[in-house]
Amino acid sequence: MKIKTTLLAGFMALGMLAAVAILAHPFTAGAQIKANGNSTTQRRPVSIALQCRNYGGQQDVSKNPDIINSTKQTIPSGKTLYWKASDGDKGSVVLDNSLAPGGKVGVNGKPGQSYSCTAWMAAQ
């Protein structure tokens, strides 16, 4: 009987240690991330939607939509703007100059018929 009690107590002690380790992990991992600034989880960059305007009509030479700064802040030069068309075409442009609210920059893509487009930039 003494052996059963000892084994049972041992298993209970191991179970309690495992439970403490499992419960403490999120707290200690968070403290480690704060301490060294490194996170093991990868975060997707948040994107900011911009307006993309297709002026319509057949475009035999190339698509030429405009990306319009629909935010309330100026986008600094050097920032990359991305666009995508409903027919699978896509591209990006790096701003040579800052882009004021309501300002636009033209981009070129492959020839296309009727399409819609979306534009965005990564927030950082």
Domain boundaries, the chain: 1-43, 47-122
Is the CATH number of domain 47-122 1.10.1060? no
The continuous run of DSSP H or E covering 81 comes out as: strand 80-85
Q: What CA–CA distance (Å, rounded) separates 6 from 12?
A: 10
The continuous run of DSSP H or E covering 55 comes out as: none
pLDDT for residue 41 is more than 70: no
Tens digits of per-residue pLDDT, 62-107? 788 899 999 999 999 999 999 998 888 899 999 999 999 999 999 9
pLDDT for residue 22 is more than 90: no
* pLDDT value of residue 55: 76
State the chain's mean pLDDT as an integer: 78
* pLDDT value of residue 57: 63
Which range, 10-19, 29-38, 57-66, 89-98, is most confident? Answer: 89-98
| SS3 assignment, position 117 | strand
* pLDDT value of residue 5: 76
Which residue is associated with the tokens 């009690």?
5
